[in-house]
Amino acid sequence: MTVTATETADRAAAMLSRPAVINGLTVPNRIAMAPMTRMFSPGGVPGEDVASYYSRRAAAGVGLIVTEGTYVGHESAGLSDRVPRFHGEEQLAGWAKVADAVHAAGGTIVPQLWHIGMVREQGQAPYPDAPAIGPSGVRTDGTEGTGKAMTRADIDDVVGAFAQAAADAERIGFDGVELHGAHGYLIDQFLWAGTNRRADAYGGDPVARTKFAAEIVAAVRERVSPAFPVIFRFSQWKQDAYDARLAGTPGELEAILAPLVTAGVDAFHASTRRYWLPEFEGSELNLAGWAKKLTGRPAITVGSVGLNGEFQEAFQGRGAELRSLDNLLDRLERDEFDLVAVGRAVLQDPEWAAKVLGGRLDELAPYDAATLKTLS
């Protein structure tokens, strides 16, 4: 049966307008804004333009804002002084204003807490003397780079930095936190066998490789209130290894996710490049669908929602055309996941959520890569 554009628009408005619950947080609808690095925070301080950028999308109906990645308080966490930091008096004051602005616009917001690990090169801002660190001093492309394998003291320091950032997030008014465990950054470097070659308790089988991430989750959980949501973002793919896989089977994925649930994760944000692709043979479930099925926790899907191509192509100057939402709605109707994170489409059009929730799909526009050059 052919589905008309009007039927799709009405269906999208009805299904995406339903609220979702993550621990003690009620999100007003199923639309989330995906975290996207923008580099418009000189000195690591998010200013009024950043607050306006996020609150404008909340005012248009985005239910949950997941901020761009923001560095935790560890000197090796970042690589640019224009990426916001989640430590320091001025930086946290800026973030408090962002949270207030989003709340005033009717939305909810969580910061994405980030440590890039071996992606960093020594000499990069904001702390040029700090070395890159990782589980084994190995990059996602297999090279050793200029970094070092983390000691037990390094591990404790980073775990503490994430916990402090989460405590600060709750203190200054955020609605939860997201831990960035995806895309080949530090937490993911421990999860993936390609970068984790340790012979101690933090390396080996999938459960051992999850120990570092689970310790971060547990430390965060201890520093925040019981109802404060802790979201964990993960992926199979890495920035320099699109074909990489944490898990080749559902059983292997469960071995990774189960310790995180035990440690206190409330929801999983499963990052894929194309949400409509099945994750394992024999099932149509995508990565978010498997995360929800295996853990029973709410899941967020992401990956070229509403557009063709993928977000990484935007950095190469490529635009994207509109893509039907029918497959997404079919999956949502089957309760495969709970929220839908939207990236480039919401960058292109701050009113995207309002148009979708209002049944106005005919007003959506293709993505222009020039959008990345401004913060609007």
**Contact status, residue 12 vs residue 330, Cβ threshold 8 Å:** no
Q: Which of 98, 8, 124 is nearest to 46 (CA)?
A: 98
For the question of residue 275 being annotated catalytic, the response is: no
d(CA 230, CA 265): 5
Determine how many CB atoms are found less than 10 A away from the CB of residue 141: 14
Q: Which of 185, 202, 275, 367 is catalytic?
A: 185
Sign, CA torsion 203/208/213/214: negative
Beta-bridge partners for 267: 231
Mind telling me the catalytic residues? 185
